[in-house]
Amino acid sequence: MGGEAFEVIHNEADGRFEIRLDGKIAYAEYRLLDSGVLFPHTEVPPAFEGRGVGSALVKAAMAWVREREQLAIPTCTFVAGYIQRHPDLHDMVHPGYRAALGI
């Protein structure tokens, strides 16, 4: 995994966290619900894969969720996988989704 530092932009108007590189955009979408913050989709262009771009997006998004004192609803497999690998985030997962993540 890459050790690069990326500038993550919170694009509230489009409901997503973004990293822009070389004219392309990687993003993690979210939707605000009464029950928490739903993460339905993450998109990382192939040229960015393996550089830690997706992880940087999810890390920033989860920090934002924690600041808001809300729960994450990770229906996106990438977001779910990131959370599974980071036990410090398990408490942030909506109880209805913890079993699906095995936490």
Closest by CA position to 3, among listed 53, 70, 44: 53
Closest by CA position to 60, among listed 33, 42, 75: 42
Residue 2 falls inside a structural domain: no
pLDDT in tens, 15-26: 999 999 989 999
Residue 2 has pLDDT above 60, yes or no: no
**Which residue segment(s) compose the domain that 33 sits in?**
9-101
Residue 90 has pLDDT above 50, yes or no: yes
Q: What is the pTM of this model?
A: 0.91
Q: Give every CB contact of residue 4 below 8 A, 6+ residues apart in sequence.
A: 51, 52
Residue 4 has pLDDT above 80, yes or no: no
Residue 51: give its domain's CATH number.
3.40.630.30
| Count: domains in the chain | 1
Residue 1 falls inside a structural domain: no
What tokens were used for 32? 């605000």
Provide the pLDDT for residue 3: 56
Region 26-52: mean pLDDT is 95
